[in-house]
Amino acid sequence: MESSDREMKGWQLPFFSIWTGQAFSLVGSRLVQFALVWWLTETTGSATVLAMATLVAILPGVILGPFAGTLVDRWNRRIVMIVADGVVALVTAWLAYLLWTGSATMWHVYAAMLARALGGAFHWPAMQASTSLMVPKKHLSRVAGLNQTMQGALSIVAPPLGALLLSLLPLQGIMAIDLVTAVLAIVPLLFVVIPQPEKVAGAAQKGSVWSDFRTGLRYVAGWPGLMIILVMAMLINFVVNPAFSLMPLLVTDHFGGGALQLGWLQSAWGVGMLAGGLLLSVWGGFRRRIYTSLMGLIVAGVAIMVLGLVPGNVFWLALVALLVAGFMNPLINGPLFAILQATVEPGMQGRVFTLVQSLSAAMMPLSLMVAGPVSDAIGVQTWYLFGGATFALMGILALFVPAAIKLEDGRPEVEESQSAPEAVDVALAGE
| Structure confidence by residue, pLDDT tens digits, 293-334 | 999 999 999 999 998 899 888 999 999 999 999 999 889 888
Q: What angle do CA 302, 306, 309 make, to 5 degrees?
A: 135
Residue 41 has pLDDT above 90, yes or no: no
Q: Which CATH class is domain 2-193+200-409?
A: mainly alpha
Residue 336 has pLDDT above 80, yes or no: yes
In Å, what is the CA distance from 102 to each residue of 8, 97, 105, 329? 51, 9, 9, 42
- pLDDT classification of 396: cutoffs 50, 70, 90: very high
* Mean pLDDT across 353-359: 74
Q: Burial, 92: exposed, middle or buried (Cβ in 10 Å; 0-12, 13-18, 19+)?
A: buried
Residue 234 has pLDDT above 80, yes or no: yes
- pLDDT classification of 423: cutoffs 50, 70, 90: very low
Please tell me the total number of residues recorded for the chain in this structure: 431
| Higher pLDDT pick, 152 / 51 | 152
Residue 422: what pLDDT? 40
Of 246, 269, 271, 232, nearest to 397 (Cα)?
232
Neighbours of 268 (CB within 10 A): 21
Of 73, 98, 133, nearest to 353 (Cα)?
73
Q: Which strand (E) or helix (H) includes residue 76?
A: none
Measured CA to CA, the distance from residue 39 to residue 105 in angstroms comes to 10
Residue 318: what pLDDT? 92
Measured CA to CA, the distance from residue 176 to residue 156 in angstroms comes to 22
Measured CA to CA, the distance from residue 268 to residue 324 in angstroms comes to 9
* Mean pLDDT across 243-267: 74
* Mean pLDDT across 100-124: 86
Average pLDDT value over all residues in the chain:
78
Measured CA to CA, the distance from residue 285 to residue 68 in angstroms comes to 31
What 8-state DSSP symbol labels residue 246?
T
Q: Is the dihedral of CA 388, 125, 108, 266 positive or negative?
A: positive
Residue 208: what pLDDT? 59
Q: Where are the domains of the chain?
A: 2-193+200-409
* Mean pLDDT across 148-166: 75
What 8-state DSSP symbol labels residue 136?
-
Give the tens place of pLDDT for each residue, 188-228: 989 888 877 665 444 444 555 567 667 777 888 888 888 88
Residue 3 has pLDDT above 50, yes or no: no
Lowest mean pLDDT among 17-21, 143-147, 387-391: 143-147
Measured CA to CA, the distance from residue 170 to residue 147 in angstroms comes to 30
Provide φ and ψ at 311, rounded to 5°. Answer: -65, 155
- pLDDT classification of 339: cutoffs 50, 70, 90: confident
| Higher pLDDT pick, 122 / 34 | 122
